[in-house]
């Protein structure tokens, strides 16, 4: 690890609050927040637009070399995703794109393609990076690894509220069923399945408010930074 940068890896299932918590902690620490799920979603969108089957590696692989994916940060610190220069930040946040992202993320060819982009980002600056395999594969030497989880009910309720705020009229049952399927697919796939790194701190946020969760993660970061400074 580069001594001048500090990296926090946050992994966990969808709806555990990873993105919101990681973004808030990054802002508090002055670190860059990297939402790797958004990168997989952007690949999913490109595959959808090309009319390819997202489960079919032979159909997806030829698209990858020409993919022009980039991201930057808006005035409020939120990560904006671009595909071929077009801002697709809103287009990737639909239930359909969740499924496309989950499907393409199971393909080793896609994971390999995105690995460098993620590692380079953490090499250049201090980051809070969230995803499914950050502590296990992308940044195995991260200074701090957190596995953020919550009960399926708490996660479905949160995701429903997020979608409703955007005008999506999905029901709790639909959201819970989609989430259960995605959890199963993400955890059972052969390529980089969702699991906690052995040296990760597990944090269950089911009974925590958002502020409490942010505070808990921030405390872990502060403590680890102090430990590292003392070395």
Chain positions contacting ligand DC, by CB under 6 A: 14, 36-37, 40-41, 98, 101-102, 105, 131-134, 182, 186
Residue nearer to ligand DC on the CB measure, 22 or 221: 22
Rounded CA separation 93/89 (Å): 7
Q: Which positions ≥6 away from 159 have C-beta within 8 Å?
A: 14, 15, 175, 179
Rounded to the nearest whole angstrom, what is the least distance from the CB of residue 40 to ligand DC in the complex?
A: 4
Torsion-angle region of 41 (φ positive above 0: left; ψ -120 to 50: alpha; else: beta): alpha
CB of 218 to ligand DC, least distance (A): 21
Give 185 or 225: the residue with its C-beta nearer to ligand DC: 185
In the complex, what is the shortest distance from the CB of residue 3 to ligand DC, in angstroms, rounded to a whole number? 25
For ligand DC, the closer of residues 41 and 224 by Cβ is 41
In terms of CB distance, is 143 or 231 closer to ligand DC?
143
CA atoms in the 13 A half-sphere facing the CB of 18: 27
* CB-CB neighbours of 128 under 10 Å: 31
- Nearest distance, CB of residue 138 and ligand DC, angstroms: 7
Q: Where are the beta strands (DSSP E) in 84-230?
A: 86-87, 127-131, 144-149, 201-204
């Amino acid at each position: 690890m580069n001594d001048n940068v500090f990296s926090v890896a946050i992994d966990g299932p969808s709806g555990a609050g990873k993105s919101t918590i990681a973004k808030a902690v990054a802002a508090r620490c002055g670190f860059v927040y990297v939402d790797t799920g958004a990168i997989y979603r952007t690949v999913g969108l490109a595959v959808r637009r090309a009319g390819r089957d997202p489960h079919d590696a032979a159909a997806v692989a030829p698209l990858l070399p020409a993919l022009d994916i980039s991201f930057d940060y808006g005035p409020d610190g939120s990560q904006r995703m671009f595909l071929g220069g077009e801002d697709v930040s809103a287009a990737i946040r639909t239930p359909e794109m969740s499924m496309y992202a989950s499907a393409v993320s199971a393909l080793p060819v896609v994971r390999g393609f995105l690995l460098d982009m993620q590692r380079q980002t953490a090499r250049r600056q201090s980051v809070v990076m969230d995803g499914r395999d950050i502590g296990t594969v992308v940044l195995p030497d991260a200074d701090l690894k957190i596995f953020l989880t919550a009960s399926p009910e708490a996660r479905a309720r949160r995701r429903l509220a997020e979608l409703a705020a955007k005008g999506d009229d999905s029901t709790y049952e639909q959201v819970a069923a989609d989430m259960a399927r995605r959890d199963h697919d993400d955890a059972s796939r052969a390529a980089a399945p969702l699991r906690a790194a052995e040296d990760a701190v597990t944090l269950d946020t089911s009974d925590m408010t958002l502020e409490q969760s942010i505070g808990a993660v921030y405390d872990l970061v502060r403590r680890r930074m102090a430990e590292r400074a003392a070395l």
